[in-house]
Structure 1
Amino acid sequence: MKQVLLDLQSGSIRVENVPVPTVTRGVVVENAYSLISAGTESSLINLAQQSLVGKAKARPDDVKRILQKIGTDGPLSAYRQAMGRLSKPEPLGYSCAGTVVQTASDEFEVGDRVACGGAGYAVHAEYVAVPRNLCVKVPDGVSLREAAFTTVGSIAMHGVRNAKVTVGENVAVIGLGLIGLLSVQILKAAGCRVIGIDIDPGKLSLAQKLGADLVSNYDGLVERVKSLSPFGADAVIITAATRSSAPVEAAGHLVREQGRVVVVGNVGMNLPRDVFYAKEAEVVVSRSYGPGRYDRNYEEKGLDYPIYVRWTERRNMEAFLSLIQQKKIDLAPLITHTFPLDDAPEAYNLISTGRERFIGVLLQYSPNGAGPSGTVVRLPESGRQPRKASTGLRRIGCIGAGVHALSSLYPHLSALPADLAAVATATGLSAQSVAKKYGFSYCTTDYREILSDPAIDAVLIATRNDLHASLAAEALRAGKDVFVEKPLATSIEELKEVVSAWNESGQRLMVGFNRRYSPLARRMKEFFSNRTTPTVLHYRVNAGQIPSGHWVHDGEQGGGMLISECCHFIDFMQYITGARPVQVYARAIEPTGDLPKYDNFQATLAFDDGSVGTVTYTTLGDRSYPKEMIEVFCGNAVGRITDFRDLELRRDGKASRERRWLTQEKGFFEELLAFVKGEEPDFPASVATTLATFAAWDSIDTGTPRTIDLGRVGL
């Protein structure tokens, strides 16, 4: 299928062929129309078109994170990660309408006409995969052309709801772009008197035709509002887009005492305190479409809010469509341009240059484009990065292409003695861009294409955590060797399933515990190879806080930091000692505020050779301090690794030290090379590590030590 993409490095807009998405929790929709958001999308394009210095100035928080990354990981690692993010194309669009062609929801049937919303979902593409709560049926009497405005309409709807207007109130709308003109019509439908404010005479005239009782530019504005309402506007809704604070300053003068100002557009927010103080006016920043926005449980998983949360983003979408059906909203005057999908670059050029007056700009899709089954796209040699001659030891298929895979795993693939056959990701754009960059023969949104490909003998799995176990088991049973990122599983049931598949298949399974493959780790292990006593180990992790809404904290998808991250450190202790963990006792800080329960803890492990090790994991430290430090004590000797850039070894008063100035040596390339070359991984050690994280979780919950028993899962 065809999709519009933005090159984040150059800012160019292209239409490229990518795989059709597959249905998950919602529906796959064949688009008829999608609406270009001139404000939101232009801001992203303008940022992409800036130089690296310009991008840095526009995103100071990102620069701060990169500088912190340089301090811990080294400049080369930080640079690769930053450029890796920029090399991945960005999908554009968040409001579209079309027909359901595949469904995984009882609410929708194939053939239903629907309107869809959500960045990353309702994109400019021939086919889109949308979760159920971001999709609504289009009522009879509403065209798909009109329904493509639904998401933007729900933004206007939520802004009006935040104004808490009642019948007969006087409302000023500042900024008569698309959302402003929709707000005027919604307010009129709610029984309000409306004054529309803009500097463009054409928009003022259009607002009046659409029902505004009064229109005005900024000249003599206060007096004009008083002619409509002597005491001022009951509410002011700002839908303008400007860095200037002039709109909020004007709102302060227009609103009545104890009135309400609602900011919908992206404007400067330097409020004149004296003006707002004198009127005791309330200022509300309206958040997008309504309740549910940015809530992963609502948007991704489809978990609805109870009805007392009356106007969720989906209900706002439905209400907007209802107003169109009732002829309370007229979209015809707002549709100024319609472009075929192939001409999308020209549409964006029109918006960026402003060579013609525009308001609503639609992309139109030809029916029956790629077809809903077009989940595989083969790349011609000219469309792929050239590859060195391969020994063909392995023909690899990769599943998943998140941040970790793109920054730490995939950059090493070209140096491996292997053929890159295919890559599968959830979205077609991601699959196509990764395949093109790293030289895969084909890309797909259906991972089963890889598992059923007889030419592929090894699979690399780098998805979100909740899919690791099920995909690993399925790949083993399909006769593939498997490299799966950590954690191996997020529950005991998942772990049993993987062990069962491993026992049955006879295939190899390696878990991405890369630290044991670091050259620095290997030198540390050699240093202690002739030890005659047990070891004492301490692995301290100054992790830095991850936002509470991040998927890794999700009990279903991520498993939390204890499951997701602590496995690395327990595996490292197994590697250094050559022993299995047999017991763990863990304690954690009780959750407060944004601190999840299992993010700040200490876990002390006993090993079967008498060694003991403690993992200290905290998100409470300063990110500028080293992230990882490992200390090993044994037989009058000490070993220390700091951030896998600095190794110090001491024995009998003699010390040696190795440092890496440009980058870390975390073992990513070495682990992939070992897998490709057929090295037999220590799978029981990976299972023991995973069991140890589960046991640590239980220990925190029960306050007692827990035993680690491989027999519990069939080993």
Structure 2
Amino acid sequence: MKQVVQSFKTGEMEVKEVPLPQLQSKYVLVENATSLISAGTEKGTVKVAKASLIEKARQRPDLVKQVIQNMKKEGIRATFDKVKSKLDSPKALGYSTAGIVKASLDSNNLFKTGDRVACAGQDLASHAEVVSVPQNLVAKIPDNVTFEEAAFTTVGAIALQGVRQSEPKLGENICVIGLGLIGQITCQLLRASGANVFGVDLSDKLVELASKHSADVANNRNNSNLLVNCLAFTNGHGFDKIIITAATPSNDPIELSAEIARKKGSVIMVGAVGMNIPRDPHFYRKELDLKMSCSYGPGRYDTSYEELGQDYPIAYVRWTEQRNMEAFLNAISKKQVNLKPLITHQFTIDNALAAYEMVINPEAEFNLGVLLEYPERAKKFETPKEQKKIISDPKNPNVSFIGAGSFAQSYLIPNIKSAGGTLQAVTTGRGINAEHVASKFGFVKFESDPTTIFKDENCNTIFIATRHNTHANYAIDALSEGKNVFVEKPLALNTEELEKVSNVYSNSGKLLMVGFNRRFSRAAQEVNKLFNSYDGPLAFNFRVNAGALPPDHWAINDEIGGGRIIGEVCHFIDLMQYFSNSLVKSVYAQSLPGTSEVNTNADNVIITLTFKNGSVGNITYLANGDKALPKEHLEVFGGGNSAIINDFNSVSLYKNGSLKKVKTSGKGHKEEVMAFLKAISDGTDSPISFDSIYSTTLTTFKVIDSMATGLPQHL
């Protein structure tokens, strides 16, 4: 299929042939008929990508801060590789489309093949011939609404949410500052609610458009009589509400809104503008309210709602993202909103670059609602042909990847060739990523459907680097097709999944490896050498300053990531099993009470493990510490010797009353890949036994059980 793609590194744009997006549970696959280029929003997105690296840093200081923090934790080289991978990744453009349902796995059985629907979502409802969109970001189109009109639904929902935040009442005087696409629609929605609407903008053409079709009155911001006209419009009282839909770093919109508001009026922020709120004279003396409007409604930025399809009860949350989309479509159907005057240009997908060139060019003709159309094309649903042929030695691992995000691109894929493997095929959830990764690393081909990789006779090894909730099922499918499998941790999210994998593995005759990389690091190897001549039990004290994750991070979502015990503490359980050469016997865990959404009880836990050979380990895993403290401090004691791993940057070895310090780097990612592929080539067992993998995975579940019950758990 065709899709508009931009390189975030260079800013270059192109219409590329890429694989179809994957249809997953609670998603809807839609063949686009029309999509909207929002001139205001997308112009900013495109310009950031075209900016120099320094300019990008200036515009996103939050990301610069993340880079600096990552350098402290993982070092300059690892951070550089991560940043390079992020910059190299292609970006999907667009977030508002309309089309026809081709297939649906929505949990409500609401969408049927052939339904006309509007779709929303950045990186989801993209400028592409086919999109895969979560069920809560899809809405059916009324029969009398065209695809061209329905393509405005996402923008319309943003405007509608701002209107809802203003709580307009019949007869109120409301000003809209910023008469771009969202501003024009906002004016129309306000008039439909019975408000008297006054519009303000810097553009004479937008003011003229609003005067004809959207607002009762509209003025240019630079009109010398603006304040007089505002007072006349409101009979000398000032506006009841002001909705700011402008997009500018200037503080002028917020200052103007305070000046023209009546006493005890309200200011609602929809657009991104300067927010240096002037206390005096207006906000303070008029006792003005300031409200924020978040995108297209409740559910935005909530993983459970947007990705997992969990709706909010209508009795408690009347207007969600999806219900706002439906309400806006209904407003179009009832002729309460007239979008046709807002459509200034229409292009086919093949001419999308010309459309964007016009949008970002300040000297171009006036444009507002720019639509992309998707003509019928026979090859739309075909996967692009193989990019190039690579003849591989059948004795060597021929590797395919399911999932190829920044982690896989930084730590796994680059090490395949150096370990003697061949890169066969790659598939990702979004087609543009699969095509990009294949081109970047030299895969023979890229696919849109993981089942084609399982059936590929030229592939004997599959790496699974998707989100955690897919690992077990993909591993089962790959093993069932006779493939060697490397699963980036964890192997499973619950006991039922683990048992299914175990049963399939035991009958497969193939190698199964999980990405417990730390045991392969040079630091771990140095410690293991110190204790390998000692057969007695060891004592471990591992302190992990993990740091807090954002509350909406997918890794701590129970359904997607399984939480941090399953997703990260597994590393330290595996490392203890490696050093002790023994499996876990029992576990007892206690946690600090969750103090916030950010610091949950699973983030701050102390775990005591006993092993079958008598070893005892203590893991203190914390998210409530200071970021300046190194992340991992691991101590090992036994046989009169001691060792300390200092964040895998160095090792302190104590033996016979003397200290030996060894500088190290890396956490074993390269070494684990090489060990696994060597085992395949040599026909030997997996570098980590399945008994150990099973024990580590089961132990994480027992940690959670112990936290819940307050009792020790036995394996």
TM-score range, shorter chain: over 0.9
Of the structure 1 ranges 163-172 and 672-681, higher mean CA displacement relative to structure 2 is found in 672-681
**Offset at 1:388?**
11
2:253 to 242, 247, 252: 247
Contact 1:184 1:211 in 2 (8 A): yes
**Offset at 1:598?**
0.9
List per-residue Cα deviations over 1:203-251 (Å, max 9, x = no partner): 1111111142211123322211111112111111111111001011000
Contact 1:18 1:429 in 2 (8 A): yes
Alignment of 1:91 onto 2:92 = yes
Do the aligned partners of residues 71 and 388 (structure 1) sit closer, same or farther apart at CA in structure 2, a change above 3 Å counting?
Answer: farther
Alignment of 1:221 onto 2:230 = no
What corresponds to 1:713 in structure 2? none
Contact 1:184 1:210 in 2 (8 A): no
Do the aligned partners of residues 360 and 408 (structure 1) sit closer, same or farther apart at CA in structure 2, a change above 3 Å counting?
Answer: same
Tell me, in whole angstroms, the C-alpha distance in 2 between the residues paired with 1:160 and 1:42. Answer: 24
Tell me, in whole angstroms, the C-alpha distance in 2 between the residues paired with 1:156 and 1:293. Answer: 14
What corresponds to 2:693 in structure 1? 686
- Counterparts of 1:110-125 in structure 2 under 5 Å? 110-125=113-128
SS at match of 2:254: helix
**Offset at 1:316?**
1.1
List per-residue Cα deviations over 1:178-199 (Å, max 9, x = no partner): 1111111111111111111112
Contact 2:199 2:215 in 1 (8 A): yes
List per-residue Cα deviations over 1:79-114 (Å, max 9, x = no partner): 111111111111111000011111223111111111
**Offset at 1:303?**
1.6
Q: Which amino acid aligns with 1:360?
A: G
Count of residues in Structure 1 that have an aligned counterpart in Structure 2: 699
Alignment of 1:639 onto 2:643 = yes
Alignment of 1:321 onto 2:329 = yes
For structure 1, the residue ranges without an aligned partner over 5 or more in a row are 709-715
- Counterparts of 1:271-350 in structure 2 under 5 Å? 271-274=277-280, 275-308=282-315, 309-350=317-358
Do the aligned partners of residues 62 and 392 (structure 1) sit closer, same or farther apart at CA in structure 2, a change above 3 Å counting?
Answer: farther
**Offset at 1:44?**
2.1
Contact 1:548 1:596 in 2 (8 A): no
What corresponds to 1:190 in structure 2? 193
Q: Which amino acid aligns with 1:15?
A: V
2:462 to 456, 459, 462: 459
What corresponds to 1:706 in structure 2? 713
- Counterparts of 1:574-653 in structure 2 under 5 Å? 574-594=577-597, 595-653=599-657
**Offset at 1:532?**
4.5
- Counterparts of 1:654-673 in structure 2 under 5 Å? 654-660=658-664, 664-673=665-674
What corresponds to 1:20 in structure 2? 20
Alignment of 1:510 onto 2:517 = no
SS at match of 1:242: coil
What corresponds to 1:64 in structure 2? 65
**Offset at 1:406?**
2.2
What corresponds to 1:434 in structure 2? 437
For structure 2, the residue ranges without an aligned partner over 5 or more in a row are none
Contact 2:467 2:561 in 1 (8 A): yes
SS at match of 2:576: helix
**Offset at 1:370?**
3.2
Tell me, in whole angstroms, the C-alpha distance in 2 between the residues paired with 1:460 and 1:167. Answer: 60
**Could you tell me the percent identity over the aligned residues?**
44
Do the aligned partners of residues 211 and 400 (structure 1) sit closer, same or farther apart at CA in structure 2, a change above 3 Å counting?
Answer: closer
Do the aligned partners of residues 392 and 420 (structure 1) sit closer, same or farther apart at CA in structure 2, a change above 3 Å counting?
Answer: farther
Q: CA RMSD, aligned part only?
A: 1.5
Contact 1:392 1:418 in 2 (8 A): no
Contact 1:126 1:369 in 2 (8 A): no
**Offset at 1:22?**
2.9
Contact 2:40 2:180 in 1 (8 A): no
TM score, norm. by length of structure 1: 0.95
Contact 2:254 2:275 in 1 (8 A): yes
1:523 to 523, 526, 542: 526
Tell me, in whole angstroms, the C-alpha distance in 1 between the residues paired with 2:667 and 2:8. Answer: 28
What corresponds to 2:33 in structure 1? 32
Q: Which amino acid aligns with 2:226?
A: L
Alignment of 1:419 onto 2:422 = yes
- Counterparts of 1:104-503 in structure 2 under 5 Å? 104-105=105-106, 106-218=109-221, 219-229=224-234, 230-274=236-280, 275-308=282-315, 309-354=317-362, 355-372=364-381, 374=382, 376-381=383-388, 393-503=396-506
Tell me, in whole angstroms, the C-alpha distance in 1 between the residues paired with 2:277 and 2:535. Answer: 71
Tell me, in whole angstroms, the C-alpha distance in 1 between the residues paired with 2:674 and 2:391. Answer: 16
Do the aligned partners of residues 211 and 622 (structure 1) sit closer, same or farther apart at CA in structure 2, a change above 3 Å counting?
Answer: closer
Tell me, in whole angstroms, the C-alpha distance in 2 between the residues paired with 1:166 and 1:109. Answer: 38
SS at match of 2:507: helix
Tell me, in whole angstroms, the C-alpha distance in 2 between the residues paired with 1:514 and 1:48. Answer: 34
List per-residue Cα deviations over 1:467-513 (Å, max 9, x = no partner): 11111111111111110111111100010001000112121101110
Do the aligned partners of residues 513 and 185 (structure 1) sit closer, same or farther apart at CA in structure 2, a change above 3 Å counting?
Answer: same
Q: Which amino acid aligns with 1:321?
A: L
Runs of 4+ displaced beyond 6 Å = 387-391
Contact 1:260 1:283 in 2 (8 A): yes
SS at match of 2:565: helix
Tell me, in whole angstroms, the C-alpha distance in 2 between the residues paired with 1:397 and 1:495. Answer: 23
What corresponds to 2:554 in structure 1? 551
**Offset at 1:392?**
5.1
**Offset at 1:171?**
0.6
**Offset at 1:528?**
0.8
Contact 1:395 1:420 in 2 (8 A): yes
Tell me, in whole angstroms, the C-alpha distance in 2 between the residues paired with 1:339 and 1:694. Answer: 54
Contact 1:177 1:240 in 2 (8 A): yes
Of the structure 1 ranges 25-34 and 406-415, higher mean CA displacement relative to structure 2 is found in 406-415
Contact 1:392 1:419 in 2 (8 A): no
What corresponds to 2:543 in structure 1? 540
Tell me, in whole angstroms, the C-alpha distance in 2 between the residues paired with 1:470 and 1:239. Answer: 46
Tell me, in whole angstroms, the C-alpha distance in 2 between the residues paired with 1:658 and 1:27. Answer: 54
**Offset at 1:369?**
5.0
Contact 2:630 2:647 in 1 (8 A): yes
Tell me, in whole angstroms, the C-alpha distance in 2 between the residues paired with 1:328 and 1:695. Answer: 58
What corresponds to 1:712 in structure 2? none
Contact 1:605 1:612 in 2 (8 A): yes
List per-residue Cα deviations over 1:311-333 (Å, max 9, x = no partner): 11111111111111122211111
Alignment of 1:570 onto 2:576 = no
**Offset at 1:366?**
1.2
Contact 2:174 2:242 in 1 (8 A): yes
Contact 1:158 1:290 in 2 (8 A): yes
Tell me, in whole angstroms, the C-alpha distance in 1 between the residues paired with 2:216 and 2:204. Answer: 15
Do the aligned partners of residues 180 and 434 (structure 1) sit closer, same or farther apart at CA in structure 2, a change above 3 Å counting?
Answer: same
Tell me, in whole angstroms, the C-alpha distance in 2 between the residues paired with 1:242 and 1:402. Answer: 33
**Offset at 1:50?**
2.1
Tell me, in whole angstroms, the C-alpha distance in 1 between the residues paired with 2:30 and 2:448. Answer: 15
Contact 1:7 1:88 in 2 (8 A): yes
SS at match of 1:377: coil
**Offset at 1:277?**
0.9
Q: Which amino acid aligns with 1:292?
A: G
Tell me, in whole angstroms, the C-alpha distance in 2 between the residues paired with 1:432 and 1:479. Answer: 26
SS at match of 1:456: coil
Contact 1:263 1:286 in 2 (8 A): yes
Q: Which amino acid aligns with 1:407?
A: S
What corresponds to 2:4 in structure 1? 4
Of the structure 1 ranges 226-235 and 37-46, higher mean CA displacement relative to structure 2 is found in 37-46
Q: Which amino acid aligns with 2:657?
A: G
Q: Which amino acid aligns with 1:128?
A: V
Contact 1:236 1:261 in 2 (8 A): yes
